[in-house]
A and B are shown apart, each in its own frame.
Chain A
Amino acid sequence: MYIMSVVYNRKVELYEMSWVLRDGLRDSLVAAAPYGGPIAVMKESQCLSPSVRPQLDIYTASGVTMATFPWKSGPVVQLGWSVSEELLCVQQDGTVLIYDLTGAFLRHFSMGQEVVQSHVSEAKIFHSPYGTGVAIVTGSSRFTLATNIDDLKLRRLPEVPGLQGAPSCWAVLNQDRQTKVLLANGPELYLLDNTCCTSVLPGGSPLDGVFVHIAVSFSYKYLALFTDTGHLWTGLANLQVRPAHSQVRPHPPPSVVVLWERLLLVVAVGGDTVQYPLDEACVCVGELDGVRLLSPSRHELLQEVPLVCEDIFKIASMGPGALLLEAHKEYQKSSQKADEYLREIKEQGMLGDAVRQCVEAAGHEQHTHTQKALLRAASFGKCFLTNLSPEAFVSVCRDLRVLNAVRDPSIGIPLTHTQYKQMTVQVLIDRLVYRRLYPLAIEVCRYLKTPEYQGVSRILRHWACSKVQQKGESDEVMVRCISGRLADSPGISYSHIASKAYDSGRTELAIKLLDYEARSGEQVPLLLKMRRSQLALSKAIESGDTDLVYTVVSYVKNEMNRGDFFMTLRNQPVALSLYRQFCKLQEQETLKDLYNQDDDHQELANYYVSASYREKVQANCYVSASYREKVQANYYVSASYREKVQANYYVSASYRERYWWLKLKSLAEKEEWEELEKFSKSKKSPVGYLPFVEVCMKKSNKYEAKKYVTKVTPEQRVRAHLTIEDVEGAADAAIERRSEAEIGTVISHCSSSSSSSQRLLLDKLQRALTTANRK
């Protein structure tokens, strides 16, 4: 029983199946992936004698064999496909085995320990926004869920009261971002979520009888319940009957497809039914926009007729699209009726709509001649319009080209346009890659002008990854083959390919491949993994990423003995200086060893200097507080005392100038003016007398400062006068010296004052300046 939206139904034949099934699909586990995915077929084990191993076959949707191998593990309860087209086989003991499209085993996981005893009685594989999930019910009537097989978290759902053995029917729902299980135990319905089990009732008039089937729509939006009395309930997934007012197009209520052995029944909401008799046993595959019917001989699509197609192809339709199609037909026959039709559309002002309808309808058609007819009509209509954007037309043409290519029986992906849009080109390309249809995938990318990085390069990487896992070719040939093919494609991650090669045990090949990797950052982790630390170190340095260098260095440090480690570093100056930095902060002792080894005496000396200073600080820290104060007191002796000590030292070392400086500064500091004067007379000052003036002024002692002005040499006299703010004196000195520059300086100093004496002085200076100038 399947749900699909149906107004008008149509059944389109997709393929004549090319497979050869010995006993049809009867008594087989059949799983077909949605979006035109592959089909897995396996004989049910109970139908075989225990000694016979069942065969697992994987076909494309057109029935071409992709893989076939004998099943060697335990009995399988359920087959299913993940979103990335991996085959999940749920075994009776709760183990889920995962295979890829080619039948290669990928990995496995278990649905929990208790299942091993109680056995899986039924399993369902479902898709949700989180990925692909597995739900099982055990023989002891307990449900276990895994919402995403790639990030496995098992959830054991609470017990269902009164349930003995398997429920009569159940389904997995996805509501409010939560995965729940709806199950029927006879006439009762229960909703199971993470924490509790609630008894529920479907809305509307009560139903009698026992529920035998539950079906959920592709989008988890609608629900259908079927009882053994032949009643069918349909509604929303929250068990509410759809409110009446929203029953308007374009959201038609869903129809339900019920499948018996030889009969297919499509039930619309009002209770209208359409019957399709079947020649042979079928399997139904729910899709986004319809149901695929799989029989041993053919593969069909049962689908609601899309609205636009209905509008165009309905008998006696007067829709604009229909008229346009007709107009074009007449035009091809060179009949003047074409004009009449066109006029009719134009009079209604519907030509734009007509073109749009034809374009859209073309997308929904499976057969190329219908597609062509519609597109030609659209193109014809377009000629009479001036401002129609060609975008839709172009994109539909492009999409159809891709779709027709993948629908080809040799490829066998029967996607509808709606599905294609939903799944995106990216995913389609992935699917082609999974099927190893590399040339087609590359063609599609080139045709759609997908950026190389996301398109061609990605495909080539997949190709290379699968290539390196093949055995039998020598490393040389393999590398040449891969690099030759990948050389000019940008953004190829050779390290990814190399790690695949390493995983399949071909270390040498991996190293050769890594040479082609442009990003040295990517090479390093793998090289370390392969224990090629020297190579890793030089690659890390090449990348310029110091963090990477540090990482390798710390790895190498643990791996080698100290001597070798130091030698390695010595050959890599960049790494060495980084390691020194590291040691400076973390391991001082090692630093010393490093310098010792390099005979770097300068650095070694520096090391001891800083170490001894550090010890001093540390010593200070450790001594008791009072003692420390004493030490500090001694260390930070009062300024004057220290200066004296220093002064004595300097004198003996005959640093007279510095001695004079220090002494006069200390004396001024202590304001011992008499001492200062005595000092000035003690000997001829080797620093001159301007410093005396300046230190006095620093203490704002003009009186003392004046004493020394006369002693200052003529060259410094102007400055000395200015320092003690004696502008007149400065002026006199400057005039005496007849120096232009000095007179200028004095002028600039008194220009801003405005007292009369100042003005007089200024005049005097100006005059002096002109005389000086004249000379």
Chain B
Amino acid sequence: MAAHLTNGRVNLNILREAARKELREFLDKCAGSKAIVWDEYLTGPFGLIAQYSLLKEHEVEKMFTLKGGRLPPADVKNIIFFVRPRLELMDIIAENVFSDKSNSRDYHILFVPRRSMLCEQRLKEQGVLGSFTNIDEYILDLIPYDGDLLSMESEGAFRECYLENDQTTLYHTAKGLMTLQALYGTIPQIYGKGDCARHVANMMLRMKREFAGSQNQILPVFDTLLLLDRNVDLLTPLATQLTYEGLIDEIYGITNGYVKLPPEKFAQKKQGEGSKDLPTEPKKLQLNSAEELYAEIRDKNFNAVGAALSKKAKIISAAFEERHNAKTVGEIKQFVSQLPHMQAARSSLANHTSIAELIKDLTSKRSVQEHRNAFEADGFVFCPVASEAFFDNLTVEQEFMTGVDTDKVNTYIEDCISQKDPLIKVLRLMCMQSVCNNGLKQKVLDFYKREILQTYGYEHMLTLNNLEKTGLLKLQTNSRNNYPTIRKTLKLWMEDANEQTPNDISYVYSGYAPLSVRLTQVLARPGWRSIEEVLKMLPGPHFEERQQLPAGLHKKRQQGENRTTLVFFLGGVTYAEITALRFLSQMEDSGMEYIIATTKLINGSSWIKSLMDHPETQIP
């Protein structure tokens, strides 16, 4: 069930099991049949920990979404609220409890990830605190996402930390890292860059002092922890990811490990039936390393995916051909025993071929005719602009990243605004230009702002202000632009990026090597001392801390054994960055394996979106 968590260097299933055990223990505390009322936000993250079947085993009979008014009828003994500690949710709970007339019920609250005195106080003010039999917390900080990936699935983390100066997520991060250390041993070395990183490290060291004495005697699994602020590297998420996984996320968005795709390509092709009854529900697919093929191709540059898929197709059809060679009963039996595996491989191949086609239609410059055929066959109106736009967009991005004309108003951005392209796309490019130019000149910035406000509406003033506060957009204050220095020192742009058989991390953006990953790479070898100058140009302090290990737990390293580093991105990480780190792990001479942890998996669009304000829809 959780095979994808165990095949990595570090068995993250331990963490998942610990989380499941705690959930079971809580459910068993409430004897009898139960109904769970969900804070909708939590269902996704919980899905990564436990399926419905686990809840069912513990007598959970009904599930509802938390909303005002009366609870839906349910013939159960216990009502359990699974909520985040938010005041507005407490009010809803109070409303629910008041309107529920049956007296024989027990109410429980499970706060995720932490109980809050403030919320309990609110419940008390509402006069319902006494109605709850159990008020508990379910510490769900770091959720195992894949074999080498942990996420807190905290959507607003970046906004909270860098815009609102709300350090709640950082506190949870520190707590989560403490839990992790309780299970996987104390991490002896901590490096970090950025204000938030410093804050988290401080809290960790403080918590360690607090828990002193209850020290665990586990041999450390991680050798190093690297904490990186997202605002150290604002550039990377803005760029369009060009790996397979990255593109799926850019185009369709991966949420909690699932992606929803347009169903047309996945229609079961049955003979004799027209294309009339197409499925209308989006196709939902789970994407993780449990799927052999996906694990193989997700980290490839999209331009190399086609070749990989066709190679795989050949292998699979060759495997099916084997049946003709099977002569003896024994051989046939062996063939049949492999069938389920082969069929799974075939259907996974079919899925990914479809996905790849979908992406290709939107990204690559194919012959127009072909386009048309492909689309019209499915009854779709042909749209030649999509792929062109993608390419143009990419060209502009690459110009910015290589430092071409970043100090002038960019005509493409101007065109996009005139054409009223999606605002997020415009903002993404604009921010990128600002980041690559270490801020925009007053004239340029004002021009963009005016254009945006006049085209998209004045309500976006708030959004622009937010972008400025987080440093994504800024006014150039000193005339020196230090981005070129950073780019050159860290080799952020590689002219000859090899997309098919990569030899450098820059392949994930077809030329651009993510700054965050370069920092990680340099840290492993030759060390940050070699780039002191650049580090000083990036925001926030950089630091190194050591945590004393109990005697006898110092690892005796075998010859050639790799060290393990946990890289924690505070404020989100993109799939392409993860891919780049995976690439570093696989490099033969790196001697380092990376496990990635983050507050949330992001891409440029979801990131910018999280920073946008919509005054009309805000709850008064």
Question: A residues touching B (Cβ–Cβ < 8 Å)?
Answer: 451-453, 457, 489-491, 518-520, 543-548, 550-551, 554, 573-574, 577-578, 580-582, 585-586, 588, 602, 606, 609-611, 613-614, 616-618, 650, 655, 657-658, 661-662, 665, 687, 694, 697-698, 700, 719, 722-723, 725, 727, 745, 748-753
Contacts and interface: CB of A to CB of B under 8 A. Distances in A.
Contact of A518 (B165, B206, B385): B206
Given A748-B365, A749-B367, A750-B367, A547 B458 contact: no
Contacts of A697: 384-385
- Top 10 nearest A-B pairs by Cβ distance? A491-B213, A490-B213, A490-B212, A610-B615, A613-B615, A577-B165, A453-B213, A725-B368, A546-B168, A661-B418
A577 B536 CA distance: 27
Which of A518, A618, A662 lies at the interface centre, i.e. has the most chain B CB atoms within 10 A of its CB? A518
Contacts of B116: 547, 550
Contacts of B388: 719, 723
A649 to B, nearest CB: 8
B85 A658 contact: no
Given A610-B462, A752-B366, A585 B88 contact: yes
B213 A578 contact: no
Given A550-B118, A577-B166, A606-B461, A694 B367 contact: no
A657 B613 CA distance: 29
Given A585-B87, A585-B88, A723-B384, A518 B209 contact: yes
Given A490-B213, A491-B212, A753 B168 contact: no
Interface in B115-167: 116-118, 121, 164-167
A425 to B, nearest CB: 18
B164 A544 contact: no
12 contacts: A453-B214, A550-B117, A578-B165, A606-B462, A606-B465, A609-B459, A609-B462, A614-B616, A661-B419, A698-B385, A700-B381, A748-B367
Contacts of A544: 167, 170-171, 174, 199, 202-203, 206
Contacts of A551: 117-118, 121
B414 interface: yes
Contacts of A617: 616-617
A278 to B, nearest CB: 51
Contact residues of A: prevailing secondary structure: helix
Interface of B: 85, 87-88, 114, 116-118, 121, 164-168, 170-171, 174, 199, 202-203, 206, 209-215, 365-370, 372, 381-385, 388, 414-415, 417-419, 454-455, 458-459, 461-462, 465, 613, 615-620
Contacts of A606: 461-462, 465
Contacts of A602: 465
A753 B117 CA distance: 69
Given A544-B206, A609-B459, 6 more contacts: A451-B214, A453-B214, A585-B619, A698-B385, A727-B368, A752-B367
B210 A547 contact: no
A610 B618 contact: yes
Contact of B369 (A580, A611, A655, A753): A753
A546 B418 CA distance: 44
Q: Which of A489, A610, A655, A662 has the most CB of B within 10 A?
A: A610
A489 B212 CA distance: 9
Contacts of B458: 609
Nearest to A612: B615
Contact of A613 (B168, B199, B214, B459): B459
Q: Output the residue of B167, B418, B613 with the most chain A CB within 10 A.
A: B418
A745 B365 contact: yes
Nearest to A659: B418
A547 B164 contact: no
A618 B620 contact: yes
A640 to B, nearest CB: 14
Contacts of A655: 454
A319 B620 CA distance: 87
Contact of B171 (A546, A573, A753): A546
A546 B199 CA distance: 13
A544 B459 CA distance: 34
Most B Cβ at <10 Å: residue of A547, A655, A749, A751: A547
A134 B536 CA distance: 72
A588 B620 contact: yes
A723 B368 contact: yes
Nearest to A665: B419
Contacts of B372: 725
A585 B619 CA distance: 8
A479 to B, nearest CB: 20
Contacts of B367: 727, 748-753
A491 B211 contact: yes
A656 to B, nearest CB: 10
A494 to B, nearest CB: 11
A574 B618 contact: no
Contact of A457 (B213, B461, B619): B213
Given A544-B199, A657-B418, A749 B365 contact: yes
Contact of B117 (A489, A547, A700, A723): A547
Contact of B615 (A609, A665, A719): A609
A457 B211 CA distance: 12
A585 B615 CA distance: 13
Contact of B213 (A451, A661, A752): A451
B368 A577 contact: no
A750 B366 CA distance: 9
A508 B11 CA distance: 50
A657 B416 CA distance: 12
Contact of B620 (A546, A614, A665, A700): A614
A455 B213 CA distance: 10
Contact of A694 (B170, B381, B385, B617): B385
Contacts of A578: 165-166
A211 B94 CA distance: 59
A554 B121 contact: yes
Contacts of A586: 87
Nearest to B372: A725
Nearest to A578: B166
B371 to A, nearest CB: 9
Nearest to A580: B164
A658 B455 contact: yes
A722 B616 CA distance: 43
Nearest to A617: B616
A585 B414 CA distance: 36
B368 A657 contact: no
Contacts of B117: 547-548, 550-551
Contacts of B114: 547
